Amino acid sequence: MNVPLLLFQLFVFLFSIIIHEVSHGLVALRLGDTTAKDAGRLTLNPWPHLELFGSFILPFMLFFASGGALVFGWAKPVPYNPNNLKNPKVGAGLIAAAGPISNLSIAFLFGLIVRFGMPLLGVVGNETTVILFHLIILVNILLAVFNLVPIPPLDGSKILFAFLPRRAEGARIFLERYGLILLLFFIFYGFRLIQPIIFGIYRLFAGAAVL
């Protein structure tokens, strides 16, 4: 087990989560809600975002127990007040979508660097740099795709609820009531369903199969 490489992956994971959460707050601010700004959450300083169990203990336990195959955790959700939004239902969906979009943007940017920037700079032969950049791409794609799964409290559920008609209110109530159970079941038994999507986007952005 390459411990420095595993620690780097965890570092990337934590800061990608922070960017994910800050993006929620920035879109909320754009839509007229200053709750996140007033709470001091529109910052890349990690301390206002991280929590002991979800950001450190759980990710480290899962990561080392699985040899790097599984990592899961969270930061403190960035707060927003739906009453400050012109259209709370649609606004909640837009705020939720901002997180995964931020992670996909990071992955896309580093994909451009790997595919075009590094050859131009003549560092394509630096194996360590290439591996680290590929890890940044993969971790951010994983975060984006996983968070788009429509199970509460993931962002995908809020995006789904933004489009659900009133007659489907029962489905929303069911998902919110049993979301944690469904999410745990998905992590252990359904995660393989999104792996082809993760690896497909990875190949598209990085121009290579997973290292």
Q: What letters, b where the CB count within 10 A reaches 16 and e where it falls short, cover 10-40? A: bebbbbbbbbbbbbbbbbbbebebebbeeee
Separation between Cα atoms, residue 198 and residue 73, nearest integer Å: 18
Nearest by Cα to 149 from 89, 202, 189: 189
Task: Say which residue the tokens 């995006």 belong to.
Answer: 159
Q: Is the dihedral of CA 33, 35, 37, 42 positive or negative?
A: negative
Amino acid at 36: A
Tell me which residues are annotated as active site: 21
